[in-house]
Structure 1
Amino acid sequence: MRRVKVETPGTCGEYIQGWYDGSPCLVSSPIDRYSRITIAEGPGNLEVLKPKTRKQVEAVFRRFAIPELEKKHLHFSMVSDIPVEKGMASSTADIAGMAAGLCAYFGLDLIPKEIGSLCTGIEPSDNLMFERLNLFNHLSGSVLKEFDGTVEADILIIDFNGGIDTMTFNESQDDYSSDDLAIFVEIVTQFEKGVRTESLKEIGAACTKSAILNQKRLKKNYLDDLIGLSRDFGGLGTVIGHSGTVIGVMYDNGDFQEAEFLNAFKQVVPESAYAEIYQNRLIPGGIKITTEEV
């Protein structure tokens, strides 16, 4: 009996997001929180899947002309530790993992770009399916620019109260002035330099600038405070859910004064404003697949 296990990371929102060369785009920030899917031979239970994930099953079956009868022999199980409606890519992790898992189960080839295209056919999506970073059109699934590397660092994530449905969160170039568009080009250049030179300081600075630019679209009440606290206590910069509620502070464990940061944070941000604080790790993206014969 075949069994496929899939592990797909969530994100702390996006390192950067805006409009570049006439297209909406982002660079997701994968973290060590995961959507985990198991696909095995057994009694079909498609009905247990979330609606978007079921849509992805249908999309993969159509794309590869898989006989409908096969659905009666697919048994799914899914668990996730990615918070929903926070801008942490919970939906993308589910649907990207499902596409990758089904293709592994049926022995089909599907590269990350094709997974990205399938995902954006269902909803605006993050580009966590790529191991290496790129500038990704989250509406069309096209890759605008490749970056030569990945990011690995620690991140403290504040899960602020509330939630955003990214399906209904619209974005258009009208949201950005000509000055904003020029600023984002500079942000992309700085981010690209940081990745190329492996400078977390440059990467963090670009992330912070993108977070500030995004305030015109979706204001985060305590962003300025967190930017200041990050600077004061050795953080590298802020990473936000541009269409979500989370704010993360990047740091290198050796330089960050975590206890002092948290003490100062609690003096500035009331406990009623946030649900939880997570300690995670920024990691390379990509979907991990294990295929077994049991």
Structure 2
Amino acid sequence: MRIGYGICNGTFGELVQGVYNKQPFLITMPIPVLTSKSIFIPNETKTIIGHSSYSKAVLACNKLLSLFNKNVGGTIDLASNIPRGKGMASSSADLVAAMKAVADGCFIEVNNKILSTIATEIEPTDGVMYENVVAYNYKNGSLMESFGNLPPFDLLGIDVGGYIDTIQFNQQRKIYSRQDLKAFHHAFHLIKTGIQTQNLSSICQASTISAKINEKILPKKYFDEMEKIAAICQGGVVVAHSGTMIGILFEHDHPYKNDCLLQFKKLVDDTKAVPFYYSHKKFEVRDENLHLYVR
């Protein structure tokens, strides 16, 4: 054994989440600079241990060792800049990063399917083991389709406040109409073609469709205001379907970008909401509760 390292990105909610072909699914929205990083330090024990605040990650690592019949142990530690309880895949990223660290330290060859299977045995999972945008069954961990990378985009977001327990939320039954199911099917294919052609407009349309449906399940404060700002720069609304985040996707070089930014700043000033900004590979996040600032 050796010291092992693992890393996994977080997300800004999901581009789409609902039901497709009778399967619960989500389409991921990876944010590469939001990360959970893990280190595994081997020792003479026969189990993985770690701080109680990431007990689920410890459980995942022990499941991984059991799967590969490894009678070894050690300590894992985690460091993350992903806000908790906001729908940004913090827990899923912890699970994946920790398992990658143990696999690295114990010379175990793991793939995304193995990581996904173990993670979803513990809780509904965000599909963050896949670096690209994917359609993913978050309950059984099956990959439905891999789409590729998003075209360049800017993201303005706010945290509407509070915290959501993802496990409890996903235990609630969600009722979708026949029209909703058709809309999810349409959104799925808008994402697929949008990434194939690198057309952000199609992706924005899909995310807005899903965000509006989600308003019936977990409504977001300031949704109408954010939708109006998105319309200024022909963007789309994206939400954390089981979290507290709402954002706007739009073209980085859109001619009305500054108008969009001004209206967004006014909303933030008026509401005192916590702002988020992402532009290509730059991301800023301010969380007044965690005292976190990442640039």
Question: Quick one: distance in 2 between partners of 1:281 and 1:9?
Answer: 16
> Is 1:46 aligned to 2:49, yes or no?
yes
- Is contact 1:155-1:280 (8 Å) kept? yes
**Mean CA deviation greater in 74-83 or 18-27:** 74-83
Partner residue of 1:237?
A: 236
- Is contact 1:235-1:249 (8 Å) kept? no
- Is contact 1:235-1:256 (8 Å) kept? no
Partner residue of 1:84?
A: 84
**Superposed displacement of residue 40, structure 1:** 2.6
Question: Quick one: distance in 1 between partners of 2:182 and 2:64?
Answer: 39
Task: Count how many residue pairs are aligned between Structure 1 and Structure 2.
Answer: 276
Question: Quick one: distance in 1 between partners of 2:12 and 2:77?
Answer: 25
| Unmatched runs of 5 consecutive residues or more in structure 2 | 282-295
- Is contact 2:58-2:76 (8 Å) kept? no
Partner residue of 2:67?
A: 63
Q: 1:55 to 1:271 in 2, by over 3 A?
A: farther
Partner residue of 1:179?
A: 179
Q: Which has the higher contact order (CA 8 A, sep 6+)?
A: 1
> Is 1:278 aligned to 2:276, yes or no?
yes
Q: 1:282 to 1:141 in 2, by over 3 A?
A: farther
Question: Quick one: distance in 1 between partners of 2:61 and 2:107?
Answer: 15
Q: Give the letter aligned to residue 237 of structure 2.
A: T
What is the root-mean-square deviation of aligned Cα atoms in Å? 2.3
- Is contact 2:220-2:244 (8 Å) kept? yes
**Superposed displacement of residue 260, structure 1:** 3.6
- Is contact 2:4-2:106 (8 Å) kept? no
Partner residue of 1:108?
A: 108
- Is contact 1:88-1:244 (8 Å) kept? yes
SS of 1:202's equivalent in the other structure is helix
- Is contact 1:13-1:240 (8 Å) kept? yes
Q: 1:153 to 1:272 in 2, by over 3 A?
A: closer
SS of 1:169's equivalent in the other structure is helix
**Mean CA deviation greater in 14-23 or 155-164:** 155-164
Q: How does 1:1-294 map to 2 (within 5 A)?
A: 2-31=2-31, 32-41=33-42, 46-49=49-52, 50-67=54-71, 70-71=72-73, 74-147=74-147, 149-151=148-150, 152-170=152-170, 175-232=175-232, 234=233, 236-255=235-254, 260-268=259-267, 271-272=270-271, 274=273, 276-281=274-279
Q: Give the letter aligned to residue 248 of structure 1.
A: G
SS of 1:156's equivalent in the other structure is strand
SS of 1:17's equivalent in the other structure is strand
Q: Give the letter aligned to residue 244 of structure 1.
A: G
Q: Give the letter aligned to residue 143 of structure 1.
A: L
Q: 1:120 to 1:188 in 2, by over 3 A?
A: same
